[in-house]
Every structure is written in C-alpha cells, then in structure tokens.
Amino acid sequence: MERTLILLKPDCVHRRLVGSIVHRFEQKGLRLAGMKLVQVSRGLAEQHYAVHKGKPFYESLLKFIVSGPTLALVLEGREAVAVARHLIGATDGAKAAPGTIRGDFALSVQNNLIHGSDSTDNAATEVALWFKPEELVTFQPVDSPWIVGG
C-alpha cells in the first residue's frame, strides 16, 4: 500500500479549510494513516525544503511554513502519491484546474494551501521526517473492495 505526505499549510488552517480538504481525500478513497497539528520549527522547515536551498524563494518558503500551524497527514491507498497530486492541482492556484483543491481554493503560488509528496521516494523520506513509525496506523477499511476493487 502506497503512502504519501500531505501538509495543510498555515493558510489552509487559518482559512478553516482543513475539513473540506481532508474530506476530498477520503471521498476519493485514500485513508488516513497519520495526522497531527504542528507548529513547524525552522529546523524542520529547512530539512523539508532542503531541495530548494539557494533558490530565490527559499527564505520566503521557510518564513511562510513557520508562520502558523500546519496539519501533517499521511495518506495511504492505491497510487496514493499520484492520486493526491491530481486532487491537489497545479502549484499556482490561479492556473490550477477547477475541481482541484488549489483550483477551487487558492490564487497564490506560495500560499497555495497544501503540499503533497511528488514521488514515492520523496514520500518515504518526507513521511519519515514528519512522523515517527509509532505515530502511523494501518488498517483495512470494510469498504476497500468497493473502492479499490477486490
């Protein structure tokens, strides 16, 4: 079963969109394996965004993610990374397709509500960065045969 990390960023939490967005993932058939509300430290932010270090927008990314609470989620399901990325939509909310999370709720490039892992390798790295193994739960919902087939 594939897992992905989803971060509902401070703008999402402040705008009270958490429930609406988690609902979309659950409606699609992904299931929660972990969830916690965190005030992101500068150190965690630097680790998470290390790939962007040296880019012109790096400092503003860090400043934004530490500016308020973030809801960290681990979702699991069939092709969880690709499914979540499709539901999230393009990075620039103004260009994201209607029906996607960013297309429906975001206008900004940086303050775009949500982060989702972009590959299975990055998902594994990010999940391990944000969650201890004992904070994750795996279970088999009774409706799985109807959602993912057999």
Show the tokens assigned to 9: 């960023």
Distance (Å, rounded) from C-alpha 4 to C-alpha 124? Answer: 7
* Residue 35 β-bridge partners: 73
Q: Looking at the annotation, which residues are catalytic?
A: 115
58 burial (CB, 10 Å; 0-12 / 13-18 / 19+) is: middle
Specify the long-range contacts of residues 27-30, CB closer than 8 Å, at least 24 apart. 28/77, 28/83, 28/87, 29/77, 29/78, 29/147, 29/148, 30/75, 30/76, 30/77, 30/80, 30/83, 30/84
